[in-house]
Amino acid sequence: MPLKPTDDSEDRSLRHVEENVLIPQIIRKRAAKLCNVQAQKFFDCCKGRTVSAAWACRAEVKMMNDCLAKYYTDPAFFEECKESYLAERAHFRKTGVNPNRVNRRRGRTSSFESPEQENTEQLSSQ
């Protein structure tokens, strides 16, 4: 059952959990994508190693951690992720549709479709 839209879609205040949990979660996901090259170098170095990876891959893990730390501590990147979160939240509050909700029937993320559009698509495909 979809939630009903609310009138406070333009509210820009953040709750504690949004500022300290949800936005940092977005930062971690986006930083991991941006540091993918360094992470891949580290993973390639670790292949076929067990305990020796701690010594053999020190340079690679340092490059990966430096890249991640650059994004974790950048105030401009935090603001960028915060704006992204606020836009998603405003859209959800206006429409009642969560753009990050996985559509379990189709196995993909929904694309800003209203429940009525999804029902129409299902009926037309039958």
Dihedral pair phi/psi, residue 61, rounded to 5°: -70, -35
- Looking at residue 1, its pLDDT comes to 46
State pTM to two decimals. Answer: 0.70
pLDDT tens for each residue of 44-80? 999 999 999 999 999 999 999 999 999 999 999 999 9
Is residue 25's pLDDT more than 70? Answer: yes
Residue 19, CA distances (Å) to 11, 15, 22, 83 in order: 14, 6, 6, 12
Mean per-residue pLDDT of the chain: 82
